[in-house]
């Protein structure tokens, strides 16, 4: 591991070890020159490859022929910001430093600055931190309308760093927290950055879009159903550790009762409903396009279903509004019934009324006739009884 360059009076040593520390003497004739070699060794846990929210541990060791100095350690992240670290164990030979939980922005070259006043030491030791994870928010919410097409995407940052080994993962879906989990697909990435995906589930009609140059895991729902809502969790595993990212899919649908054209003077109930709970700053709104303020109705907080009774035809729209932004909208056209249908309805109403009146009159007449026949039969029975009584009396005489 050593080589001597005679022309420069140099000794070159490769792959230094802590045991190489000490005093080196160069003899040239009667001249002697002594040089003290102080060696530092910085070890990063997990070989410098981390997942999101993992906290690295640094171990700094030193060796010297002289008494070991008392060191002060300062860390700077990839953005050259000073990092607050916890010094867990401190001895003259070994320093253990615990760092905060890492995020994707921490990926890059860090600097460990070592300082000592006696002897004077100012040494910067660079080390690389690889942070693998999803660039999505912790819990992303995505809205879609029934029968629309939606693409759920999870963005990885693995192409920005060099991985010694590939990693694997899977995509799961469940409608509710307590529901059964459906595994949609498995994937793995090789060290060359090649992504392989395998479809696992037939419970949900979905497609895997064409692979893009950026590192993404995507699922395409070509025609969203109301029951396609729920949590879609993408889980990434690397060397027995894993990280995950969730996307909450909320689906909206609208309906009408009764279905069909709106007749003059009639009413219709429009219902707008979403499949999942809404955040406190989100609500539903019904409104008629080019209508008035009277045609607007907002849902209350945490309401996932909004009904509105209408008597005017036109294009009605249900909006899902979050933080004053319209996330999705679903339109429902309410047509006005043609005039002849109104006349038919009016005629049917009048005809029905006349028929009911006629039936009522017929029932009254029939009732009167039946009552008269009953009274006549009663009188005749009384008369026969009277005659029988009289005949009996004459026979006795």
At residue 274, the pLDDT reads 95
Two structure tokens written together for 278: 């809404």
Tell me what pLDDT residue 340 has. 45
d(CA 102, CA 99): 8
| 3 state SS for 313-371 | CEEEEEEEEECCEEEEEEEEEECECCHHHHHHHHHHHHHHHHHHHHHHHHHHHHHHHHH
What does the chain come to in residues? 397
Segments in the chain below pLDDT 50: 340-342, 344, 393, 395-397
Q: Are the C-beta atoms of residues 316 and 334 closer than 8 Å to each other?
A: yes
Note the pLDDT of residue 392: 52
**CA-CA distance, 47 to 164, in Å (whole number)?**
10
| Alpha-carbon span 252 to 271, nearest angstrom | 11
Count Cα atoms within 13 angstroms, Cβ side, for 161: 23
- Coil, strand or helix: which one is 56? coil
Predicted local confidence at residue 397, as pLDDT: 44
CB 93 within 8 A of CB 62: yes
User: How confident is the model at residue 9, as a pLDDT?
Assistant: 80
Q: Which domains does the chain have, with CATH numbers?
A: 17-131 (2.60.40.10), 139-251 (2.60.40.10), 258-334 (2.60.40.10)
Distance, CA of 93 to CA of 87 (rounded, Å)? 14
């Amino acid at each position: 591991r050593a080589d001597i360059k005679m022309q420069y009076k140099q000794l070159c040593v490769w792959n230094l070890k802590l045991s190489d520390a000490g005093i080196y003497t160069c003899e040239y004739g009667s001249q002697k020159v002594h040089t003290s070699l102080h060696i530092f060794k910085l070890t990063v846990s997990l070989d410098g490859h981390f997942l999101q929210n993992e906290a690295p541990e640094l171990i700094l060791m030193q060796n010297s022929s002289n008494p070991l100095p008392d060191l002060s350690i300062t860390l700077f992240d990839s953005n050259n910001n000073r990092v607050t670290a916890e010094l867990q164990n401190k001895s003259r030979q070994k320093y253990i430093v615990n760092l905060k939980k890492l995020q994707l922005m921490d990926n890059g070259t860090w600097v460990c600055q070592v300082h000592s006043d006696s002897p004077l030491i100012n040494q910067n030791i660079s080390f690389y931190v690889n942070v693998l994870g999803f660039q999505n928010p912790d819990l992303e919410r995505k809205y879609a309308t029934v029968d629309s097409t939606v693409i759920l995407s999870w963005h990885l940052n693995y192409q920005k760093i060099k991985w010694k080994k590939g990693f694997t993962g899977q995509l799961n879906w469940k409608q509710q927290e307590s529901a059964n989990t459906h595994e949609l697909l498995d994937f793995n990435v090789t060290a060359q950055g090649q992504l392989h995906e395998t479809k696992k589930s037939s419970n949900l009609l979905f497609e895997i879009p064409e692979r893009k140059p950026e590192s993404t895991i995507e699922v395409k729902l070509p025609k969203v159903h109301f029951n396609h809502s729920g949590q879609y969790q993408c889980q990434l595993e690397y060397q027995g550790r894993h990280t995950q990212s969730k996307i909450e899919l909320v689906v909206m649908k609208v309906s009408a009762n009764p279905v069909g054209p709106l007749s003059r003077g009639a009413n219709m109930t429009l219902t707008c409903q979403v499949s999942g709970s809404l955040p406190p700053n989100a609500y539903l709104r019904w409104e008629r396009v080019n209508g008035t303020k009277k045609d607007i109705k907002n849902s209350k907080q945490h309401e996932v279903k909004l009904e509105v009774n209408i008597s005017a035809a036109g294009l009605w729209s249900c909006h899902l509004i979050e933080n004053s932004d319209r996330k999705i909208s679903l339109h429902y056209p309410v047509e006005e019934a043609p005039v002849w249908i109104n006349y038919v309805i009016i005629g049917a109403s009048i005809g029905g009324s006349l028929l009911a009146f006629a039936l009522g009159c017929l029932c009254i007449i029939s009732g009167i006739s039946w009552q008269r026949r009953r009274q006549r039969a009663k009188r005749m029975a009384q008369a026969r009884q009277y005659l029988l009584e009289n005949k009996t009396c004459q026979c006795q005489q």
